[in-house]
C-alpha cells in the first residue's frame, strides 16, 4: 500500500480505537470494534518500519479484552491513548 492509503487506514484505525476507548469508559467491550482492529492488522495497517511499535500496542490492547473485568477497563483506556498517540506519530512520519 502506498503512503497515502496507509495514512487513510491509520486514520480509520484511530477512529476505531477512539470508539473502543469510549466503550471502555462506559464499562463495555465492543467485539465488533475488536474484530475491525484485527481485520486492519491482517490487512497490514501496522506493517512497515514506521509502525513497528503499533502492532505490539494493539496486541496488548487486545489482551486486556480477553478476560473482561472492570479493573481492566482503565488499562484499556490507557492502552487506547497510547495507540492513538503512536498512530499520530506514524501519520506524522508518513506525511
Q: Give the pLDDT means over successive 10-residue stretches in the chain (95 positions).
A: 90 97 92 94 89 89 80 89 96 88
pLDDT of residue 65: 83
CA dihedral of residues 59, 29, 76, 15 (deg, nearest 10)? 80
Q: What is the pLDDT at residue 2?
A: 86
C-alpha 21/C-alpha 13 separation (Å) is: 12
Q: What is the pTM of this model?
A: 0.91
CA dist 61 and 33 (Å) reads 12
* Nearest C-alpha neighbor of 51 from the set 4, 3, 14, 87: 87
The answer to whether the Cα torsion of 85, 88, 90, 92 is positive or negative is negative
Query: Phi and psi of 29, rounded to 5°?
Result: -125, 125
Amino acid at each position: 500500500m502506498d503512503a497515502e492509503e496507509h495514512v487513510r487506514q491509520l486514520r480509520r484505525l484511530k477512529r476505531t480505537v477512539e470508539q473502543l476507548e469510549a466503550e471502555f469508559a462506559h464499562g463495555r467491550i465492543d467485539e465488533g470494534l475488536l474484530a475491525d482492529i484485527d481485520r486492519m492488522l491482517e490487512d497490514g495497517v501496522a506493517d512497515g518500519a514506521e509502525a513497528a511499535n503499533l502492532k505490539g500496542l494493539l496486541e496488548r490492547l487486545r489482551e486486556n479484552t480477553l478476560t473482561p473485568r472492570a479493573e481492566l477497563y482503565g488499562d484499556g483506556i490507557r492502552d487506547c491513548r497510547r495507540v492513538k498517540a503512536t498512530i499520530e506519530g506514524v501519520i506524522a512520519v508518513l506525511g
